[in-house]
Every structure is written in structure tokens, then in C-alpha cells.
Amino acid sequence: MDRFDEITVGTVAEIVHTVTADDLARFVELTGDDNKLHTDSSYASRTSFKKPVVHGMLGASFISTVIGTKLPGDGALWFSQDLEFLLPVRVGDTLTIRATVKDKLERDRIITLQTQIFNQLAQLVTNGTAKVRLLKEDDTASESPATKGTVALVIGGSGGIGRAVCSGLAASSFDVAVHYFSNKEAAANVSEEVVRLGRKSTIVGADITRERDVERMVAQISRQLGQISVIVYCPTTKFAPTKFETLRWDTVVDQLDINLKGAFFITKHALPGMLKQQFGKIIFITTQYNDAPVADLVHYISAKSALTGFARSLAFDLAPKGVLVNLVAPSMTDTDLIADIPEKTRLLAAARTPLRRLATPTDVAGAVIFLASSNADFLVGETIRVNGGQTML
């Protein structure tokens, strides 16, 4: 069915964005508009605004995001826009950018949209009307969708294990979306490595504990690479051994957020596409410590155990629908995450391993790539233990 026919008067699409100082700096760099009202706190304090005001067109630029990615989306030719800037926007404001279909002209495939921007107080800060022509599919030069089953999202792709997984997936003919939280440069390097291996790649920044970030990220990947078919969940965050007597609940929550809350949001928003194509693989990275606990890691082991329960429950529910969920449980792995662990502790861990060494990121990635492949199509709810023989269950 033609997408133009699916759009009706009253159809609404919106995005939410919190304006950051980095947004402002990049806008100034791109446009050259360094008006002191926007960039100089001292100058702005001598005006009626008292504080710097974000460029009106910076906020309005997100109207383009709604039109180009949501309503009407691919093939949108935005040719007319009027705007009223009603209230100032400042760094830190959370904007809701909304487009509502007011009218359709069937003959010319033109859609008239009411475009509105609201701040976090639900105040209308920008108002206007846009006109958009939706090109027919054969008018566009868009590429054909990615082949089913070849797009992977690696959460924590900029980390040690994540990087090895991204490279391994690329070598196995997957296009790869490399997720990062703060280290954009590292993610870009990983993405370049994927491209050198002959596959498509994109980097996606997101706080996986924020549902809006995750929703935006999944939509971005779908547009740039195609439907996600494989998720590898291996985010990392540093943690320190802590005796239970001094352990704070906040520390436990931090681990639950990264291991369980993030996994919940990622699965929730990527799953509908997998169910639609009746195919998907979700691979969670857990830990050997679930089987062989060590001292002073109540917070970490509790969160990883919760992730394991989450994964196994999903595995049972989703397998009949074509989505296979499994886990990989590494022992201590030689990454930056263990940089602060004393050398003696690392040597003891290696000595307890029949192979007499620590796991490497490539060791872990090998198990992940196996689970992502068709060779593992009859594995459901399993945990592959990558620990050199430390636990043999």
C-alpha cells in the first residue's frame, strides 16, 4: 500500500529532545551565527532575556527530523514553512516537536502539517505550518532494504568485548550498529573497522536506561541499516568490590539499571520488528560469577543474576515466535574494565583456569558469533560459559 494513502488528516508524529550546550556549539559552528545573545552569558544578562537564548532555528531544525523520519518520512520533500517564535528556549529545556496533518492534496501528493514545539512546561514556544510533498518510491534513489537477518545492534560496542563482537559480526556478513554511551570516538573507530571489513555500519549514542533514548536509537538504526535482527547486549560500567556492610542500595540500583533496566528497554523497542519478520536473536552477556560467586560483589552478581532470569523468561516466551534468546557468561576478561584490579588477583584468576590464562575479548566474541549464526538455531535459553574450564556444569 502507498504510504501516502495511509496518512490521514489528524495523524500526529513527534519527537522529544533536550537541548544541550553541545547542540548550541555545533549549531554555531555549522551556521557561523555566533550572536552574543546566544553564546555570551554576560551579554545576555544585559538584555531583557537575562540568560542566553537558543537560536530559534536550532529548535526548528528538529521539525525537519519529524518530517524526514516520521511524518511522512522517507521521500518527504519539505518545500514550505512558516514559523512564529513565541517563547525563548534555553540550554537544558526539553522540547517536544510535533507535526499534525491538517490537509492532503491527493493529486500532487502534498501534505499540510501544523508544526508545533512545546517546552517541558507544555508551553508552545514555536508554531507554524509546513507543506511537504511525498515522492513516490520510484522517484527516489533509496537503497533496497537490508537482507533479512543481517543487521546487528551491539550495546556497548565501543568497549573491549563489544569491539571484538562488532568485528566478528562484520566478518560474518552482518551490518553493525555500534552503540556507545559517552565514548563516541571509540565507537567511530569500531564502526570504521566494520566498514573496512566490507559491511555497513553506523554509530548510535544513547543512555540505555532512558526509554526515549532507546526508542530514538532503534528508529535510527532501522532507517539507516534496516530491521535489527540480532542484539548483543554487553554494556559495561566500572564497579568496585564492596563489603555488604558498607554497600549502599544506590550502588545495587546502578548495576540493576545497566544490566536489567537497559535490557528491558532495548528488548521492548527492538522486539516488534523481530516479531514482524518472525526472526531475531538476542544475546546477553552475563558472568561466570552467577555460577561461582566471589567475595564482595553482591551488587554486581545480583544484577547479572536478574539479567539471567530475564533472559531465560524471554527465551521461553519468544522462541515460538521465532526470536531466540541466549546468554554468554565469561570469566574475568582482559579488558579495560579490570584495569584497576590488582595484578595478583588477575594472576590468581588465571591460575584457577585449566588453560592458565584470562579470557580475551575475542574468546567471548567467538561464542557470541556462534549464537548469532544459523548454527545455533536450535539453542534457546542456553548459557555458553567462556571461562577456560573454571566451571564445568
pLDDT for res 105: 93
Q: Domain 3-139, CATH 3.40.50.300 — does that match?
A: no
Position 145 scores a pLDDT of 40
Cβ proximity of 259 and 307 under 8 Å: yes
List pLDDT tens digits, range 376-389: 999 999 999 998 87
Do the Cβ atoms of 219 and 69 come closer than 8 Å? yes
Residue 345: is its pLDDT beyond 80? no
Q: What radius of gyration do the chain's Cα atoms show?
A: 24
> What pLDDT, on the 0 to 100 scale, is given for residue 41?
93
pLDDT exceeds cutoff 70 at 147: no
Burial of 219: CB neighbours in 10 Å, binned 0-12, 13-18, 19+: middle
Q: Are 3-139 and 151-386 equal in CATH topology?
A: no
DSSP string, 365-390: HHHHHHHHSGGGTT--S-EEEESTTS
- As a whole number of Å, the end-to-end CA separation of the chain is 53
Q: Specify the pTM.
A: 0.73
Lowest mean pLDDT among 141-150, 158-167, 172-181, 375-384: 141-150
How many other CB atoms are there within 10 angstroms of residue 66's CB atom? 22
173: left (phi > 0), else alpha (psi -120 to 50), else beta?
Answer: left
Between the CA of residue 123 and those of 19, 54, 90, 150, 310, what are the distances in Å?
Answer: 16, 16, 13, 43, 40
Out of 90-104, 126-140, 247-261, least confident range: 126-140
The rounded distance, in Å, linking the Cα atoms of 37 and 229 is 47
pLDDT reading at 139 higher than 50: no
Place 146 in a pLDDT band, splitting at 50, 70 and 90.
Answer: very low
Q: Between 302 and 354, name the one with better pLDDT.
A: 302
> 67 or 3: whose pLDDT is higher?
67
What is the percent of the chain where pLDDT is above 70?
93
Give the separation between CA 149 and CA 279, rounded to whole angstroms: 7
Judged against a pLDDT cut of 50, whether residue 294 lies above it is answered with yes
Instruction: Sketch the domain layout of the chain as residue ranges.
Output: 3-139, 151-386
Least confident range from 89-103, 229-243, 336-350: namely 336-350
Q: How much of the chain exceeds pLDDT 90, in percent?
A: 79
Helix (H) or strand (E) holding 308: helix 298-318
Least confident of 7-11, 274-278, 287-291, 355-359: 355-359
State the average pLDDT over residues 205-231. 95
Strand partners, 384: 328
Do 125 and 89 contact (CB within 8 A), yes or no? Answer: yes
Sequence-distant (≥ 6) Cβ neighbours of residue 141 within 8 angstroms = none
Closest CA to 2 of 102, 100, 97, 104: 104
- In the chain the beta strands, taken as DSSP E runs, fall at 12-18, 76-85, 94-105, 110-118, 124-134, 151-155, 175-180, 201-205, 230-233, 280-285, 323-330, 383-386
Position 144 confidence tier, pLDDT thresholds 50, 70, 90:
very low
Asked if residues 230 and 174 have their Cβ atoms less than 8 Å apart, the reply is yes
pLDDT digits (tens, 9 = 90+) for 1-19: 678 888 999 999 999 999 9
| Contact by Cβ (8 Å): 65, 15 | yes
141 pLDDT above the threshold of 50:
no
User: What architecture is the 151-386 domain classified under in CATH?
Assistant: 3-Layer(aba) Sandwich (3.40)
C-alpha 371/C-alpha 75 separation (Å) is 37
